[in-house]
Amino acid sequence: MTRRRLLAVGGVLLALVLGLGLADLLLPPDLTRLHRQSAVVEDSSGTLLRPFALADGTWRLDSDPARIAPLYLAMLREMEDGRFGWHPGIDPLALTRAAFQAVSQGRVVSGGSTLSMQLARLLDPKPRTMAAKLTEMARAVQLQMRLGTAGVLRAYVTLAPFGGRVEGVRAASLAWFGIEPAHLGPAQAALLAALPQSPERLRPDRHPQAAKAARDRVLDRAVGAGLLSADVAQAAKAEALPTFQRDLPMLAPHLAERLSAEGDKRIRTTIDGNLQRVVEGLARALSAGWDDGAELALLVVANDGRRVLAHVGSGDWRRCQVDLTRASRSPGSTLKPFIYALAFDDLSLHPGTLIEDAPQRFGLWLPRNFDQDSHGVMTAREALQRSLNIPAVLVLDQVGPVRLASLLRQVGAELAFPALAEPSLPLALGGVGMRLVDLVMLYAGLAEDGLVRPLAFVHGAETPTGRALVGQPAARAVVQALEGSPPPPGVASARLTQRGRAIAFKTGTSYGFRDAWSIGVSRDYTIGVWVGRPDGAPRPGQYGLAAAAPILFQLFDLLPPDQGRRSPPAQPDHALYHAQPPAALARLSGRGEDTVLSGPGRPRILFPPDGTTVEALADGIALAAQGGVAPLKWIVDGVPLADDVRFWRPEGDGFSRLVVVDGNGQRAVSTIRVVTGQ
């Protein structure tokens, strides 16, 4: 060939390439239908929890060939496009064969469509005309150029019709067989390979004979192509066809709906799919036995990373679509551990401090215990274990309800008080609205030595650093006390379950028996249970220990044994680790005194004085105290300061609580308002 001819051929080829490129830019394929897919929410392993239909009711799930049985993909190529991957989108040999057969026999014997051409038709359906066929051919080449072989295959198995409103192999496998497409057997794969040829005429629930004949033809072709042995194909032909389309999975429906509303098409959660299925079954069985309209909400959390392993927003989604894990309800006594934790952290209370459980008036309020009785003198540990009301109010009076509410909010909990109402002493008995998700978050913080982190619902999300509510000694003192709580009915020991797991748990009952709670922590897990009526109506006699705690222990028994171990104490000589309290903490004072009952020479804060507004200067706020037994230790908003500190630098404006503690544990308190002048 001469140089001139070579240049001419090269010019023609270049013009052709440029022409194809220009045509591709000017007339790109419309991929809107491919991109319009059902949102899916998956468990931590990628197994489907809940898909969402498109606006027109179509179930179109993204189908990844890597997660589809290879046998199905091989059958698909054998039936639809034997040279797929070897042609540019159109198969000249197949088109020539189809044309010759049509001319010689006077009818269409075989089609020449490739998977790329079928994809073009699925993306832009048109009437079957010669012009439409030519357009499909051009689009097929264009799609092959744009998407490549792997992209065309993925798009086809996502858009292929399988009867009714089901599109894509993943949706079809779930709807017809209830399994993911990776687990398709020979008979199932053959049926799905046949269905797209005529999805309505071959529907097995409506036309079983036609569906069986089509399936068996695919099996015969598979034998001829060496994909199956004859005996395997014969056994597959004997398998029954599906007689109905199943509902697609509906696990963790409340959580899935909330996460999907954020707009992502695919969300992988932290949920353990197998555990979720069992927990939902338990919830349905329990709620079905209640004839008063009661519901329940459950959360199971792995303390490591705060991963939510199981989430139940109500006993049955079809009956109650409100996510009750996020409903604001009265927490009853479930906040008492945090009242004691703050007092322990301040060293204003020791687990062995004696408290008198006797009637006491707080202004116009005269709280009573749940059993309407008084129980005399006992330790703080026992008062917490028995969830007695009067001791808890006494301790909250020392800690301060405003401070407790402020600290709980600072670590991320939502507290709902009536409009214009300030936190007050009834907070100890449930005088606030709280959500199950927040209570579980707080209790998981106790399990991690007082460090509170948000719960994680999405797999792979970065673990927040968290915020300290109390220090390690205080958190461990509360957990140890709660491990000795009285067991619920039917549980031999609250400390141990069948798996030998130590469980620290607390129950709560709101006023009028409206809410029954139980929250429990072990080394590896935190579980929360709420039982009540969504409308807030009373359920007389249904209290936390009887209605919620047994469910808590049932859930713990579904979990594997704990593997974690608590680290050695960071401060082994801390007073809270001693069995006996310091002399100054031997007994809790009555109301109106800002320290425990005392020995002589207790400390006194000279500056800043209690109840004042103090401006922070450049060096901070001066700290001065006298009296007590050296050394004196300053604690500001629950955080100990350095031993030799003389000035405290606040972070900003607001209220702060300053405590000075002497060597015997005696203390003085000053609550001030800080103005930084910034």
Region of poorest pLDDT, from 21-25, 161-165, 228-232, 367-371? 21-25
Q: Is the pLDDT of residue 92 over 70?
A: no
Q: Is the pLDDT of residue 67 over 60?
A: yes
pLDDT tens sequence across 41-51: 999 999 999 99
Q: 3-state DSSP call for residue 656? A: strand
Do 519 and 500 touch, CB atoms closer than 8 A?
no
Q: What is the DSSP letter of 496?
A: B
Options 333, 485, 522, 656, the catalytic residue: 333
Using CA atoms, how far apart are residues 39 and 51, in angstroms rounded to an integer? 6
Q: Is the pLDDT of residue 132 over 80?
A: no
Give the model's pLDDT for residue 286. Answer: 96
Give the model's pLDDT for residue 442. Answer: 98
Give the model's pLDDT for residue 467. Answer: 93
Give the model's pLDDT for residue 3. Answer: 56
Give the model's pLDDT for residue 103. Answer: 46
Region of poorest pLDDT, from 54-68, 94-108, 489-503? 94-108
- Residue 571: band (very low, low, confident or very high) from pLDDT cuts 50, 70, 90: confident
Between 136 and 17, whose confidence is greater? Answer: 136
**Chain-wide mean pLDDT for the chain?**
87
Using CA atoms, how far apart are residues 335 and 429, in angstroms rounded to an integer? 8
Q: Is the pLDDT of residue 443 over 80?
A: yes
* Residue 333 is among the residues annotated as catalytic for this protein: yes
- Residue 220: band (very low, low, confident or very high) from pLDDT cuts 50, 70, 90: very high
Q: Is the pLDDT of residue 120 over 80?
A: yes
> b/e map of 382-415 (b: 16 or more CB within 10 Å)?
bbbbbbbbbbbbbbbbbbbbebbbbbbeebbbeb
Region of poorest pLDDT, from 125-139, 229-243, 398-412, 603-617? 125-139
Using CA atoms, how far apart are residues 409 and 654, in angstroms rounded to an integer? 14
Which residues 6+ apart lie within 8 Å of 132 measured at CB?
126
User: Mean per-residue pLDDT for 222-228?
Assistant: 94
pLDDT tens sequence across 321-345: 999 999 999 999 999 999 999 999 9
Give the model's pLDDT for residue 104. Answer: 54
User: Mean per-residue pLDDT for 244-268?
Assistant: 92
Architecture of domain 61-237: Orthogonal Bundle (1.10)
Options 42, 80, 382, 448, the catalytic residue: 80
Between 386 and 422, whose confidence is greater? Answer: 386
Using CA atoms, how far apart are residues 354 and 576, in angstroms rounded to an integer? 14
Give the model's pLDDT for residue 488. Answer: 85
Q: Is the pLDDT of residue 267 over 80?
A: yes
User: Mean per-residue pLDDT for 237-253?
Assistant: 95
Using CA atoms, how far apart are residues 27 and 50, in angstroms rounded to an integer? 37
Q: Which of 81, 88, 85 is nearest to 141 (CA)?
A: 88
Tell me if 61-237 shares its fold with 593-675: no
Give the model's pLDDT for residue 435. Answer: 98
Give the model's pLDDT for residue 6. Answer: 47
- Please state the CATH superfamily assignment of the domain spanning residues 593-675 in this structure: Immunoglobulins (2.60.40.10)
pLDDT tens sequence across 512-548: 999 999 999 999 999 999 999 999 999 999 999 999 9
Give the model's pLDDT for residue 595. Answer: 37
Using CA atoms, how far apart are residues 120 and 436, in angstroms rounded to an integer? 50
- Residue 594: band (very low, low, confident or very high) from pLDDT cuts 50, 70, 90: very low
User: Mean per-residue pLDDT for 431-455?
Assistant: 97
Give the model's pLDDT for residue 490. Answer: 75
Of the chain, the percentage scoring pLDDT greater than 70 comes to: 88
Do 98 and 109 touch, CB atoms closer than 8 A?
yes
- Residue 89: band (very low, low, confident or very high) from pLDDT cuts 50, 70, 90: low
Q: Is 6 left (phi over 0), alpha (psi -120 to 50) or beta?
A: alpha
Q: Which of 151, 141, 175, 142 is nearest to 161 (CA)?
A: 175
User: Mean per-residue pLDDT for 649-658?
Assistant: 83
**Residue boundaries of the structural domains of the chain:** 1-30, 61-237, 593-675
Give the model's pLDDT for residue 297. Answer: 98
- Residue 73: band (very low, low, confident or very high) from pLDDT cuts 50, 70, 90: very high
Region of poorest pLDDT, from 58-72, 212-226, 357-371? 357-371
User: Mean per-residue pLDDT for 260-273?
Assistant: 91
Using CA atoms, how far apart are residues 42 and 292, in angstroms rounded to an integer? 34
Between 308 and 371, whose confidence is greater? Answer: 308
Give the model's pLDDT for residue 2. Answer: 64
Give the model's pLDDT for residue 455. Answer: 97
Using CA atoms, how far apart are residues 57 and 165, in angstroms rounded to an integer? 7
* Residue 80 is among the residues annotated as catalytic for this protein: yes
- Residue 107: band (very low, low, confident or very high) from pLDDT cuts 50, 70, 90: very low
- Residue 319: band (very low, low, confident or very high) from pLDDT cuts 50, 70, 90: very high
